[in-house]
């Protein structure tokens, strides 16, 4: 069973207090994009890797099978991997 990894959001070359947990770096990037970040740099805890993504949010209609409490328009995050940098 794969373990969760922790990714620290970086801004201006230093860590922020935001940490996203996910098995894959893309999952963490999607969470960051949903919170409004566009230039996403995630430092993987315990390694020297920084995963770099570009992200965006689109407002889309809610899915047909969505629950009643969901608003009509929802945020849909989209990320694209730019590369990996080493510290």
pTM over 0.75: yes
Taking residue 40's Cβ as centre, other Cβ atoms within 10 Å add up to 27
- Domains delineated in the chain: 5-86 (3.10.470)
CA geometry: angle 17, 19, 25, nearest 5 deg? 140
- Which pLDDT score, from 0 to 100, does residue 13 have? 86
Write the pLDDT tens digit of every residue in 10-48: 998 899 999 999 999 999 999 999 999 999 999 999 999
Write the pLDDT tens digit of every residue in 64-82: 999 999 999 999 999 999 9
Residue 7: exposed, middle, or buried by beta-carbon count in 10 A (0-12, 13-18, 19+)? Answer: buried
């Amino acid at each position: 069973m794969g373990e969760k990894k922790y990714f620290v959001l970086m801004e201006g070359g230093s860590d922020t207090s935001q940490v996203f947990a996910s098995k894959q770096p893309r999952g963490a990037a999607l969470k960051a994009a949903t919170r409004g970040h566009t230039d996403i740099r995630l430092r993987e805890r315990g390694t020297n890797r920084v995963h770099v993504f570009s992200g965006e949010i689109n407002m889309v209609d809610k899915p047909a099978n969505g629950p009643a409490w969901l608003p009509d328009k929802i945020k849909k995050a989209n990320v694209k991997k730019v590369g990996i940098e080493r510290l």
